[in-house]
A and B are shown apart, each in its own frame.
Chain A
Amino acid sequence: MGIHATEVTAEAGRGRTADSEDAPLLQVKNLQVEFRTRDGVAKAVNGVNYSVRAGETLAILGESGSGKSVSSQAVMGILDSPPGFVTGGEIVFKGQDLLKLSNEKRRKIRGTQMAMIFQDALSSLNPVHTVGTQLGEMFRVHRGTSKSEAKKKAVELMERVGIPAAKERVNQYPHQFSGGMRQRIMIAMALALEPDLIIADEPTTALDVTVQAQVMELLADLQAEYNMGLILITHDLGVVADVADKIAVMYAGRIVETAPVHELYKRPAHPYTRGLLDSIPRLDQKGQELYAIKGLPPNLLRIPSGCAFNPRCPMAQEICRTEVPPLHAVTEADGAPLEGRGSACHFWKETIHG
């Protein structure tokens, strides 16, 4: 399978950054998730490693089917099972492996220590309860506060995320709020118990750009205020460039490149990342053909052998079809180390240094 090799070099590449400070808030090690379907086993996540520190923003970038959402659902422990199963790896949160905990213990961690913001706020909120009830539920279930106290807290939270007339609106139902306001309620709910880690799965994809800017700004402010770790899952290269500290690019269930945000945009070390960046329309290309990555993202039931990107890759050679590339530690041309950079490409040197 070659997963072993991936794991080892990935650890070596990341070790440098991880050891320099205290232990990270969350560390995902060699995570594997599969979906057992009627048509066969879909390997949605194939040995993924990443870590997040307090106050840090990790962006997981990928297309649909790349495993970006599934890996975070596994971290939260909300994977639909069956058909989804975590088949290997560790999810170390504040020093303990979540996969070894009982359901009851994980449930206590969810909401109080880690929380999630979903893409579609309308379908994530319960339409038959007022937003006040739903926000207050967090306090009543996890903290045992009284009903009236919970409502007071709900109003405070709504004010905190910038919902005008919170006192009156606390008794309204989700459908009475606009898309941006609903997403603010989702954020308020995630923040309610001041968790240490927030996972935001495409938090602004359903929103208009002017509202997206409001929501992203709010999220960044709150993150700084509470010093939370944030995992931002998105396919939008623009949003990533705006807020991320470091990036993990996923393709067909693997992380194909990791890098600090500035480095990734300046010098991508994987042909897939380079293809994505090149296909953004640029001013000087007006009237010319856009660069397009040829072909389609792979079917997870039939991931190509070797490097999963090889059928679409302009640099593919024989070795790419037979051997899974491990996550190499990326260095300068003279061998000087580049902190936090890794690329799962046999030809990363050629990709980054030309």
Chain B
Amino acid sequence: MAEPTAPEVAIEAVMDKQVERGEPILQVRNLEKHFPLTQGILIKKQIGAVKAVDGVSFDLYQGETLGIVGESGCGKSTLAKVLMNLETATSGEVLYKGEDISKVSGRALKAIRRNIQMVFQDPYTSLNPRMTVGDIIGEPYEIHPEVAPKSDRRKAVQDLLDVVGLNPEYINRYPHQFSGGQRQRIGIARGLALKPEIIICDEPVSALDVSVQAQVINLLEKLQDEFNLSYMFIAHDLSIVRHISDRVGVMYLGKMVEIGSDEEIYEHPTHPYTQALLSAVPVPDPEGREGRERIILAGDIPSPANPPSGCRFRTRCFKAQEKCAIEEPLLAIPQVFSGQDTPAAHESACHFAEDVDIVGATNGEA
């Protein structure tokens, strides 16, 4: 880890979990994923590219949860796929314990893949309806037989069912015999089968009923403590992300626009997009709703095939000035806050970063 600067020390004192963080387990550097747009049937000509992920960098530490929030089309799911090596990155690096996963192949890649697993959003389509629960959870062992020898597999699967809170006797049932929440538990058990170090959760609770979401969130937290897992938690529900995450990254149109600890992002957002996002979230408390000030953004997300020049958010930003169209703001601690001992001093890609307490304001108090 780099020499901690003064503000970092102050923040780390608050976040006890981060004090113990050592080497990052996953380092992402300038990651880009562009999908080519072609024209013509026989002679394909590339006429452009959808820049789904366009230069994203961050670190993930052992045992921590990094929340990724952003609207649909911001590239958060593509990011997950690239980290899983399901999509090859256009450029940039994904270093797992110092090794670039986009460069390795064969046996080395297989070994890395074992350690990065995924839990999908929709438990209704991510489980094969013609396989039993035992086969679904045990399938990873076919590819990585060294984790559980054939004779132990049934036992291993039953243990996993027990760990995620399902009855081990259900091993021969089919997915349709389970409810949404139970299916998501099956998906989580499959993710755990190979004893991975990193689990990427892509909207793991958004397809579930409200009363069941809390159960699955609790399970994920319990498993993290038990197995010292690192989570990358992609979601659009900001209150759940805050609850589960140690650090939060905000994405917009393929770029990370702000990243920091949960307290920094939620209490001291400095990027106007983060501020708008936080103020747009409906607060489940009707008190003071008449006096609540909302930043309502105009328009929709621009097309990632043709992003605006300079700062990508400028077309919807309430602070945009001429500079924003010309110069692209970099993700760094804004100059106004640099060297200051304040939670506002975290990385934010805005020329006019300003510390605004949105959550406090929406609650009608500072």
Contacts and interface: CB of A to CB of B under 8 A. Distances in A.
A213 B282 CA distance: 8
Contact of B239 (A181, A208, A280, A289): A280
Interface in B327-348: none
Contacts of A235: 209-210
B221 A289 contact: yes
Q: Point out which of A217, A238, A261 has the most chain B C-beta atoms below 10 A from its C-beta.
A: A238
Interface in B5-26: none
Interface of B is mostly: helix
Given A210-B71, A281-B243, A63 B284 contact: no
Contacts of B294: 213, 217
B315 to A, nearest CB: 13
Contacts of A296: 179, 181-182, 212
A266 B286 CA distance: 9
Interface string A208-224: 11111110110000000
Contacts of B179: 296-297
A237 B283 CA distance: 8
Contacts of A241: 282-286, 289
Interface footprint category on B:
35 or more
A98 to B, nearest CB: 31
Nearest to B266: A283
B316 to A, nearest CB: 8
Contacts, number: 117
A279 B209 contact: no
Given A181-B300, A262-B287, A297 B211 contact: yes
A279 B283 contact: no
Interface stretch (B28-36, B55-63, B186-194, B273-281): B273-281
Given A238-B281, A241-B282, A290 B217 contact: yes
A211 to B, nearest CB: 7
Contacts of B240: 281
A297 B215 CA distance: 13
B214 interface: yes
B287 A237 contact: no
Contacts of A277: 284
A238 B236 CA distance: 14
A276 B286 contact: no
B49 interface: no
A217 B295 CA distance: 12
Interface in A265-292: 265-266, 275-277, 279-281, 283, 285-286, 289-292
Interface in A184-224: 208-214, 216-217
B72 interface: yes
B296 A285 contact: no
Contacts of A297: 179, 209, 211-212
Nearest to A238: B282
Given A213-B296, A238-B283, A241-B286, A208 B71 contact: yes
B283 A292 contact: no
B297 interface: yes
Interface string A282-309: 0101100111111011000000000000
A220 to B, nearest CB: 11
Contact of B286 (A181, A262, A279, A293): A262
B284 A238 contact: yes
A180 interface: yes
A64 interface: yes
A209 B273 CA distance: 12
A209 B210 contact: no
Nearest to A278: B214
B85 to A, nearest CB: 28
B213 interface: yes
Interface of A: 63-64, 178-181, 208-214, 216-217, 235-242, 244, 261-262, 265-266, 275-277, 279-281, 283, 285-286, 289-294, 296-297, 312
The 10 closest A-B pairs by CB, nearest first: A238-B282, A281-B243, A292-B214, A208-B71, A213-B280, A279-B214, A237-B284, A290-B214, A293-B211, A63-B209
23 contacts: A180-B300, A208-B236, A209-B281, A210-B280, A213-B279, A213-B282, A213-B296, A213-B297, A217-B294, A241-B285, A262-B287, A265-B285, A279-B214, A280-B284, A281-B243, A283-B242, A289-B221, A292-B215, A292-B218, A293-B214, A294-B215, A297-B212, A312-B211
Given A63-B210, A279-B210, A290-B217, 13 more contacts: A178-B301, A211-B300, A213-B296, A214-B297, A235-B209, A242-B283, A265-B286, A265-B287, A279-B213, A280-B239, A289-B222, A292-B214, A292-B215
